[in-house]
Amino acid sequence: MGDAGEGLIDAESRIQERLEDLARQREETRVAVVGDPEAVRALETLELARAELNRQIDETAHERRRAQLSAALAEVDRRIDHARQALTGRT
C-alpha cells in the first residue's frame, strides 16, 4: 500500500512540475514572440528535449545510462540558457 501512495505522490509532483513548466514556457514565448521566430522554435525544441531527458532519467535504473542522460541534460540546460539570452538580447 505504501508503494501505491508513493506512486501517486510521484505522479502528482510530475504533473505539478509539468504545469509549472508549461506556464513558464507560455510566459517566455509571449516575451520572445517579439524576437526571432526561429529562435523561439529552437528554444521550444530544447525545452521538449529537456522534458524527454528528465523522463528518461526517471525511468532509467542503470547508473552509467543515468550519468549519460545527466550529462546530456546539463548540455541542453546550457543551450537553453544561451537561447534565452539570445532572445532577450543579453550576451
pTM for the full predicted model: 0.61
How wide is the angle at C-alpha 3 spanned by C-alphas 1 and 18, nearest 5°?
125
Number of domains in the chain: 1
pLDDT surpasses 60 at 31: no
C-alpha cell at 22: 508549461
CB of 72 within 8 A of CB of 46? no
Percentage of residues in the chain with pLDDT exceeding 70?
Answer: 80
More confident of the two residues 68 and 29: 68
More confident of the two residues 33 and 48: 48
Per-residue confidence band for 56, with pLDDT thresholds at 50, 70 and 90: very high
Find the domain containing 33 and state its range: 2-88
